[in-house]
Chain A
């Protein structure tokens, strides 16, 4: 729909006072987001080190990019890398000013939603792949990346299928991570377990936890105050019950019920672990990020970590002290043998940005060889790019992890939730279980009622998901 057409039908609805919820979001469609304010108030806004004697910091000034960036939680060291990348880039392009604003995990989605509703915000933004990115695409908040980046560059990127829709690529991958279950070999040893043979089946896992608990250490640590600890369990556990991704989306679009054991039966197992006391006491008051410190301090025997976090644990505990394993298997679905690698976060250009070409150029710059090498040096996380040299990974543990991430089917199930369902159901349900304020049945019921509500409140999103459903490639 052309800008003009869009505006006039919208204005009509505005005049008729019949603003729908869709319109509430469509207010971004106006495109022009600049403040109409007298200059002095806008000028009042700029006094920081970012100013280089340029005109006041409003978005309509050519040559300024604002990037709402997220990566540090997955890959510690990312923020430093980004600072260096910006410096390197602006040295070559001195008429450009890039302002990077690191985002926090628990407001990543809501902050961007709020900006999209207002039709103003950053030029480049980060959202988690697939579900969250597409949600923004369908709200017209995203400019199609493939319109600004040449195809031969895009061909070099890995996992681009996570953000493809309608024949276009909408967001750029940067790194590739998987979630490994790390374990502390020393604690295993002390508990009389073989540190070279971590548990593989569910029963083995239960027995292992019991032994660890007896030996006086917390078997598994995670932070779930923001709900993401539970979400990581979701992606590792529910996956095992599914035969295909389309099967999962069936429940999202209403062709199956979440109360069906196939979709939420795994909460029984999680509840079992929680009730047996296998988790750290602070699980409900520490966010996912802060929870990693427990394993760092050697206070737990197992935990979930991405490549970057595992590397940090090795730094803290000693390279040979940390081992990794795949999450124990109990499921019977076809996806049980998939690993969980994903690009995790994706970066895209916003539809209201006035500097789309500059933004695309900067994104491409991130994939240049020198930058990729430096990324790996700082974070230890692999890049989603064919040109990334895997032989750089000298660390045997990280190497093993990278192999798992690039061999065989990969699915990060959380990507396939509409962001609302993810925050209202996935995150909350996990909190119910971990905080013992709800039963597995209540958790399942929560998923179902949240999904129903999402379908009723977002009929257009539902249509989009239904249309996309057949396109979803199985793992």
Chain B
């Protein structure tokens, strides 16, 4: 059948439409609700206590940088952010590498138990992390890795491999085999084919895998909270919950902390929203 996609050329699909004015109104309303919390964070972060008490919803008349200064010097926000970056980068890197290898074998090689192994790995996606928590904690204590970044990295790698394998295996299987076949006939080894041919072709799936996993690891709270005890080791999200508890009577300060914690992701998003969105959906929904 005809496979040309609809709606790419800018005018939308050829279906009956709602009056644009109605569309716009609803979409604007939704957008306001979606963005309101960010707005609230920003205006509160720049208010001093008096202004906050007098009006919660309006922007500050006399914006102040005091909260920003306090949050940066009091909490260990920057330290936590650094930890999160390290943990996320390393976890995603290692998990993706392991998943690429595994997925390639599962997609392209024949061996006994292949299908069982694949279903096994994919089914692990449904395991709630909390179920694994106690034994993993005890394990890390026993090997003296508790309260170190590697402990959470190892766990995150394990937790994100199933999804990555799922995405990548599906994707690899759908690639036309001719190119790989040609390369092999030219004497290229499996690894070589993987590295030079398949991977470059797999940008969308890799992107999805990386984006989804990075977002998940960055935001993960339970494991980070339990495994990383000392202040210097905490990740951003875990640290933020503590920051909120410590300074709860100073709402402006808490919102400032939340704002600072959000800036990295927000900046990334501002510059590459399309990147995020496309990455998220490119490989999903098969």
Contacts and interface: CB of A to CB of B under 8 A. Distances in A.
Instruction: Tell me, yes or no, whether A and B come into direct contact in the complex with CB atoms closer than 8 A.
Output: yes
A19 B78 contact: no
A2 interface: no
Contact of A44 (B73, B149, B229): B149
Interface in A35-55: 35-37, 41-42, 44-49
Interface in A19-74: 19, 24, 27, 34-37, 41-42, 44-49, 57, 66
Given A48-B78, A99-B231, A119-B141, A104 B248 contact: yes
A19 B138 contact: yes
Interface residues of A, number: 41
A14 B246 CA distance: 38
A39 B82 CA distance: 17
A106 B137 CA distance: 22
A314 interface: no
* Of A24, A35, A57, A292, most B-chain CB atoms within 10 Å: A35
* Of B78, B244, B246, most A-chain CB atoms within 10 Å: B246
A431 to B, nearest CB: 17
Contacts of A287: 248
* Of A99, A106, A120, A121, most B-chain CB atoms within 10 Å: A120
B253 to A, nearest CB: 12
Interface stretch (A110-118, A170-178, A271-279, A419-427): A110-118
Per CB-CB distance, the 7 closest pairs between chain A and chain B, nearest first, are A104-B245, A45-B232, A118-B146, A104-B246, A35-B148, A115-B229, A101-B231
- Number of chain B interface residues as a range: 20 to 34
Interface string B67-81: 000000100101100
A251 to B, nearest CB: 31
A114 B229 contact: yes
A104 B230 contact: no
Nearest to A297: B53
A436 interface: no
Contacts of A104: 242, 244-246, 248
Interface string A271-307: 0000000000000000101101100010000000000
B59 to A, nearest CB: 23
B98 interface: no
Given A19-B138, A47-B79, A121 B245 contact: no
Given A45-B232, A49-B73, A115-B229, A293 B249 contact: yes
A36 B144 contact: yes
B124 to A, nearest CB: 24
Given A99-B231, A115-B229, A24 B82 contact: no
Contacts of B142: 14, 27
Interface of B: 53, 73, 76, 78-79, 82-83, 86, 137-138, 141-142, 144-150, 226, 229-233, 242, 244-246, 248-249
Given A44-B149, A47-B82, A57-B232, A117 B246 contact: no
B184 to A, nearest CB: 40
A153 to B, nearest CB: 30
Q: Is the interface of B mostly helix, strand, loop or mixed?
A: helix
Nearest to A122: B230
A151 interface: no
B226 A114 contact: yes
Contacts of B232: 45-46, 48, 57
Contacts of A297: 53
B145 A35 contact: yes
Nearest to B73: A49
A117 B146 CA distance: 10
B76 A48 contact: yes
Contacts of A111: 229
Contacts of B230: 66, 120-122
A27 B137 CA distance: 12
A328 interface: no
A113 to B, nearest CB: 11
A44 B86 contact: yes
Contacts of A290: 248-249
A48 B249 CA distance: 25
Given A36-B144, A41-B150, A111-B229, 10 more contacts: A34-B144, A41-B148, A41-B149, A44-B82, A44-B149, A48-B76, A101-B231, A118-B141, A119-B146, A122-B230
* Of A34, A45, A122, most B-chain CB atoms within 10 Å: A45
